[in-house]
Amino acid sequence: MNQTQRLPGHMPATEQNPLLEYWRSISKRKWKILVFAITVAAVATAIVFSIAPSYRSTTTILIESSRQKILSVEEVYSGVTANREYFQTQAEILQSRDLAIKTIKALKLWNYPEFDPRLVKASFWSSFLKTEETKEKASWTEDKLAAAIYPAFAKNVDVELVRLSQLAKISFTSTDKELAAAVPNKLSEMYIDSDRDARFAMAQGASKWLNDRLGGLREKLDKSEYALQQYRETNGIISLSKEGQNGNSNQVSDATQQLIAAKMKRAEAENAYRQVTAVKNGDYSSVPAVITNPQVADAKRQEAEAESKMADLIQRYGVDHPKMVQAEGELRAAKANAKRQVDAVVGSLRQSYEAAQGTERALEAVLNQARGAVSNLNRKEVQLGVLEREATANRQLYENFIARAKQTAASQDLQSAIARVIDAASTPSAPIKPKKSQIIIMAGLLGLLLASAASILLDRLNNTINNSDDVERLLGHPLLTSIPLLNKKQASDAGKLVLSEPRSIYAESIFTARTGVALSSIDATERTLLITSSMPNEGKTTFASNLALALSSTRRTLIIDADLRKPGLARKLGLNPASPGLSNLVAGNATLEECLQRVGDSQLFCIGTGDIPPSSLEILMSKRFSELLKQLSASYEMLVIDGPPLSLVSDPLILAPLCSDTLFVTRAQETPHPIARKNLARLTQAGGRVLGVTLSHLDFKKAERYYGQYGSISQYGKAYGAT
């Protein structure tokens, strides 16, 4: 009795296909979805056509990777390397604020309504309070206008570097097609002019610096040449290289040169010899004349290589290895060779010194008379050489600055541009935005998508039972029958509809329930059916009265109104509500014959509620009530008890264990399935046997259209006389 049994022939519900559920949800509201999509598209159309079209034009310029120098002035200009950083820098310059301000002023963009900041409408408060800001804006200047326009200008300018090339594209977007072409052309022109002006200013600054330096260099050159000439005149020095020299001058010059050469040679040899003789320990490594000798240097190099090789072999083989013995021999030989070379150089220095002394003494003997004069002339020529070298250096520096100053001055008039226009912007013929047809189509599709998603979401959020599959899938109990939604005419006589319209679809649904009840316990001779629901107005009483009428045609049937709180069965069946009923019968105030009422011409008998008691639970829980049910079961084959809703009162939990079966009624698209499932569980826990669930108030046409169910009834019902 505690386990739910399925009806004979009942198959478990199949798993729902999510895509099919989505399609049904969309189909259910297809006209609303279409209307919403059309509305969105219409709104988008109105908005799109109210937006001013925007035009875009592009100027292509070539940025030179290196400047063509008409004159070589490396000091003035540094070379430009063809790297990506350079081109990116130029792109940033093209988007700089200074260049934008110059372009705005050149085109006077404040004369265009699109950019005129003076056309901005005043706020509500500014019409009453004239603040300092509004006073300042009342007197616009070109600088203020350009600064106010710059943000909008920069937003519409786009500079793009063409990949793997030296080209840059300057684009501008505007609602004025003429302005869209004028801005990139003017911006590229201002960019080229700005670069030319910057380089001209740089050349002009370099030229000024060179001219300032030339003045000081000219003065320094004049002083050095004057000092040289004055020294010659003071000391009576004549230029020996000039023509007209006499024989004595030539003889003095030759003797003097030879003596000077001999003295210099002797001095060098003496210096080297003294350094050698100053060495006490035989280490000549501090004597330059020894160390710089090629043979000594080569011998030292060989000695160093031998030492390096030996150090390497020690780490690799150790001290006792044969190769180490060989390396030690090579090192000793290298050191001996170095010593021999040093000794040879020391000996040669001594010989050179002695030879130089002899040469010097011979020359002094020949030129003994002219020794003083020659010595004096030698000292004077040293000073003369210093002065001549200074004058020559000053002259060369001056001449270089003169040449560079002339080049810089010439380059001021011949400046090559860093960029040139390859393709000037032209007036666009068609706007780039808004793309009206694309936006309208996208808006319509978006409307369809949003409306479809909303429809699916509504169905997902809907927790009611919508069709017969939901009964088994959500409630876990078999479906006994589905009762169609009644029209107004049928609803007025719904309690006896199986009698008034026996060939209707409603009557067929009741007969289906009757068959299910009969087949559930074929051999049972006594059956007590409790009919209840979750909440009021779910069609419980109407279903109970019609099912009892259908059962009465084949079995002796009695229907009892056990809803002692809010009775309605007698009214549904057209009986007298004031007649004694169940409460009177249990209380012993009336006999069974007084409480029984026959329903029209049918074989159905009914016991109403009678007087409404103060406590229905006391009556239903009384022993007399259970005995009454046993007494009635002996007299009638079928007892149908119309119980109250389970969510409001606990009366059905008392009635369910006393009945052989319980039929649970739920209303389509009204009853939340969590409530119905909870109440079914309560009935089972209370000891009731749930025979099945009846789905009432179901719109068969909508169910067929949206869920693909009940098609056989609508298509073939008339063939069998069902209406």
Q: How confident is the model at residue 30 (pLDDT cuts 50, 70, 90)?
A: confident
Say if CB 153 and CB 144 are below 8 A apart. Answer: no
Share of the chain above pLDDT 70, in %: 74
Residue 241 has what pLDDT?
43
Residue 644 or 458, more confident = 644
Identify the pLDDT of residue 244.
37
> Could you give the dihedral angle defined by the CA atoms of residues 458, 463, 465 and 471, in that order, rounded to the nearest 10 degrees?
130
Do the Cβ atoms of 59 and 169 come closer than 8 Å? yes
If one compares 27 and 366, the residue with the highest pLDDT of the two is: 27
Q: What is the mean pLDDT of the chain?
A: 77
Which pLDDT belongs to residue 718? 44
Q: Which ranges constitute the DSSP H helices of 367-435?
A: 371-411
Note whether 700 and 483 are within 8 A (CB): no
Q: What letter would DSSP give residue 54?
A: B
Q: pLDDT by residue (tens digit) across 298-345? A: 777 777 777 777 777 777 776 677 777 777 777 778 777 777 777 777
Is the pLDDT at 414 greater than 50, yes or no? no
DSSP label of 589? S
- Name the percent of the chain lying above pLDDT 90: 10
Count CA atoms closer than 13 A to 203's CA, side-chain side. 25
DSSP per residue, 656-672: GGGSSEEEEEEETTTSB
State the alpha helices, DSSP H only, in 636-699: 651-655, 673-685
State which of 51-65, 276-290, 500-514 shows the largest mean pLDDT: 500-514
| Residue 594 and residue 601 in contact, taking contact as beta carbons nearer than 8 Å | no
Three-state secondary structure along 453-508? HHHHHHHHHCCECCCHHHHHHHHCCCEEEEEECCCHHHHCCHHHHHHHCCCCHHHH
What is the structure's pLDDT at 242?
Answer: 42
Q: Which residues pair with 57 in a beta bridge?
A: 172
Q: What is the pLDDT of residue 243?
A: 41
Pick the residue with more confidence: 458 or 570?
Answer: 570
Which element (helix H / strand E) includes 359?
helix 322-366
Residue 75's pLDDT band (boundaries 50, 70, 90)?
A: very low
DSSP state of 14: P
Q: Are 131 and 122 in contact (CB under 8 A)?
A: no
What pLDDT is attached to residue 398? 67
User: Greater confidence, 563 or 4?
Assistant: 563
SS3 605: strand
Q: What is the pLDDT of residue 486?
A: 82
Residue 6 has pLDDT above 70, yes or no: no
Tell me what pLDDT residue 671 has.
Answer: 85
Give the model's pLDDT for residue 380.
61
| pLDDT of res. 237 | 62
| 107, pLDDT greater than 70 | yes
| H or E element in which residue 561 lies | strand 557-561
What is the structure's pLDDT at 2?
A: 37
What are 626-677's pLDDT values in tens digits? 999 999 988 898 999 999 998 888 889 999 999 999 999 999 888 888 898 9
Q: Which pLDDT score is estimated for 373?
A: 52
As a whole number of angstroms, the distance between CA 148 and CA 100 comes to: 12
Res 269: pLDDT: 72
**How many CB atoms neighbour CB 341 within 10 A?**
20
Segment among 344-353, 400-409, 432-441 with least mean pLDDT:
400-409
Under 8 Å between Cβ of 557 and 667 = no
Name the 3-class secondary structure at 422.
strand
Look at residue 581 and tell me whether its pLDDT is greater than 50.
yes
Helix, strand, coil percentages (3-state) for the chain, rounded to 5, are: 60, 10, 30
